[in-house]
A and B are shown apart, each in its own frame.
Chain A
Amino acid sequence: MNLDSLYQEVILDHYKRPQNKKLATTFDAQVHHVNPSCGDEIDLNLVIRNGVVTSITWDGVGCSISQASVSILTELLIGKSITEAYAIYDNFVALMQSKGEISGDESVLEDAIALAGVSKYPARIKCALLGWMAFKDASVQAQAKSELE
């Protein structure tokens, strides 16, 4: 197995220059997720306006895979409708759980396709999914809140 298939250039770029890594002061939902097996942590703030994801900001500590994955997520999902965002989410989770057997749909996943190699390293899948799970959790909370209002 080639390490470069895991650590693609785009991953290392996002790791060194993470996007949207500054928690916004206003948000619809704020979540804190941890990976208990390694101690990686993420805070994620989310804003949904009229069914569209308008802001995802975050802060956290973790390995290059977890940090790059959430950075890529923010670029990919901001501006998408929540329906589109969930479709991308499902696509990404399926890719991560594929054990390397599917290559993923680049037209849907864009930069997140660079994380495809992670699926061959079972111990790292949780790293890649940390930010995505946080997003899903926050989106459910944000929508529940908007239904109440």
Chain B
Amino acid sequence: MTLDPGVIRKDFPIFNRTIRDGKKLVYLDSGATSQKPNSVMDAESDFYRNHNAAAHRGAHQLAEEATEAIESARGVVASFLGGAVDEIVFTKSSTEALNLLAYSIGSAPAGNIFHLKPGDEIVVSEMEHHANLIPWQQLAKRTGAVLKWFEVTQSGRLDLSNIDGVITERTKIVALTHQSNVLGTVIPLTQIAKRARDVGAIFILDACQSVPHMPVNVKALDIDFLVFSGHKTVGPTGVGVLWGRANLLNLLPPFLFGGSMIETVTMTDATWAPAPRKFEAGVPNMAQIVGLGAALNYLSDVGMENIYQHEIALTRYTLEKLQEIDQLRIVGPTDTDSRGSAISFTLGDIHPHDLGQFLDNAGIAVRTGHHCAWPLTRKMGVPATTRASLYLYNDESDIDALVAATLGAQKYFA
């Protein structure tokens, strides 16, 4: 089966509107957030209209239905990732999921396998999104652990030449992005995960830019935790996912305390419910969780392998067409080898904000700036870039529009 973006777009009502006085919407900003199909909005709306009650509480039919709705969504997420149902924790975002890990690890007492002491090492890379850098940077400050990182080469790859010097016997945590949100680079996960395993480090994968775009099966990856975001996965905002190995989730201390995460409570003490409930204090974002279930069902119906192949082909087309433009420099890998569909570039002396404004005037939505990865843009020697990021509803006509408007901007700002 192949994927027809024209057919896909019919499921996404936003493509019925126009931009800046009647122009066709060319949406190339799915790396920031994806658009939503009707089935997701219908599922969310149906929950509020017909099943709304506080899940896991209440002695009535609606509460049963609400519980069933979110637990069934948990099952959808588990099978989408190839994990077990009890290994799926719902958070409000992937940012919260990463902070959950950092704060929970930071509160682990001596004797707990997650306990960090001064001199222990945490490894990240220069291509991390701020959400997978700052939680670890600050955890290191709080605990006296040492933050280390893989550098990024000028071609936009992780420099693994000194992998054994970066991940050492002192490394307790390795937290890396699966695919860079700026460069599109997909990291050599197998090699790094093996090294982490060899030294007994916990491996955390930020999969925000991979899970929406390629088949990802946690059983096939030698990792311990994975996070991804609902809203980048054609799902709603307000929901993120943390997957963790069951034995590790059981040992990890909770992050947020409150209702429904407990087993017993007295005035002076409390014990915790088993995972995943231990990590889900408070009434969950139920409608959003239900919407995420619908989103993953939508993606599965289209087929993640189909989406992946479609994006690779379109990425190849985009890289070829963009590189024909004089003074355009791709910031990141220039071919589709171990690369996804986030494509950053600079255009001579034209500032990305100005280019982005010009593209917007043509109905083309891109992102400009440092993309929440400031150390990376600094390392790549640019103050900012323009990023086009693709998804299942994009096609070659979107790229042709991008190229034409980029040429127009060169004339305008010449």
Contact = CB atoms under 8 A, between A and B. Distances in A.
Nearest to A3: B361
B413 interface: yes
Contacts of A40: 353, 383-384
A63 B351 contact: yes
B233 interface: no
Nearest to B385: A39
Of B20, B351, B358, B377, chain A has the most CB atoms within 10 Å of the CB of B351
B177 interface: no
Interface string B284-295: 000000000000
Given A39-B384, A65-B353, A1 B370 contact: no
A5 B400 CA distance: 26
Interface string A1-34: 1010011000010000000000000000000000
Nearest to B351: A63
A39 B369 contact: yes
B357 interface: yes
A1 B357 contact: no
A38 interface: yes
A61 interface: yes
A12 B353 CA distance: 14
Given A3-B358, A63-B353, A38 B413 contact: no
A37 interface: yes
Contacts of A37: 369
Contacts of A7: 354, 357, 412
B374 interface: yes
Interface in B224-258: none
A12 B413 contact: yes
A61 B357 contact: no
A6 B357 contact: yes
Interface residues of A: mostly helix, strand, loop or mixed?
mixed
Interface in B384-414: 384, 412-413
B210 interface: no
A64 B354 contact: yes
A3 B357 contact: yes
Contacts of A79: none
Chain B, interface size: which category?
A: 10 to 19
B357 A121 contact: yes
Contacts of B353: 38, 40, 62-65, 124, 127
A30 B21 CA distance: 44
B93 interface: no
Nearest to B382: A39
Interface string B336-374: 000000000000000111100110010000001110001
A61 B20 contact: no
Contacts of A39: 369-370, 374, 377, 383-384
Contacts of B352: 38, 63
B396 to A, nearest CB: 26
Contacts of B412: 3, 7
Interface in A113-130: 121, 124, 127
Nearest to A61: B383
A66 to B, nearest CB: 8
B131 to A, nearest CB: 15
Contacts of B361: 1, 3
Contact of A1 (B21, B369, B413): B21
A22 B128 CA distance: 35
Nearest to A2: B361
Contact of A64 (B20, B351, B383): B351
A1 B377 contact: no
A38 B354 contact: no
Contact of A38 (B20, B358, B368): B368
Contacts of B357: 3, 6-7, 121, 124
Interface in A78-124: 121, 124
B351 A1 contact: no
Contacts of B368: 38
Contacts of A3: 357-358, 361, 412
B368 to A, nearest CB: 7
B377 A63 contact: no
Contacts of B413: 12, 64
Contacts of A63: 351-354
Sort A-B residue pairs by CB-CB distance and give the 7 closest, nearest first. A63-B353, A63-B351, A38-B369, A39-B370, A3-B361, A61-B383, A64-B354
Interface of B: 20-21, 351-354, 357-358, 361, 368-370, 374, 377, 383-384, 412-413
Given A3-B412, A38-B384, A63-B352, 16 more contacts: A3-B358, A3-B361, A6-B357, A12-B413, A38-B352, A38-B368, A38-B370, A39-B377, A40-B353, A40-B384, A61-B383, A62-B353, A63-B353, A63-B354, A64-B354, A127-B353
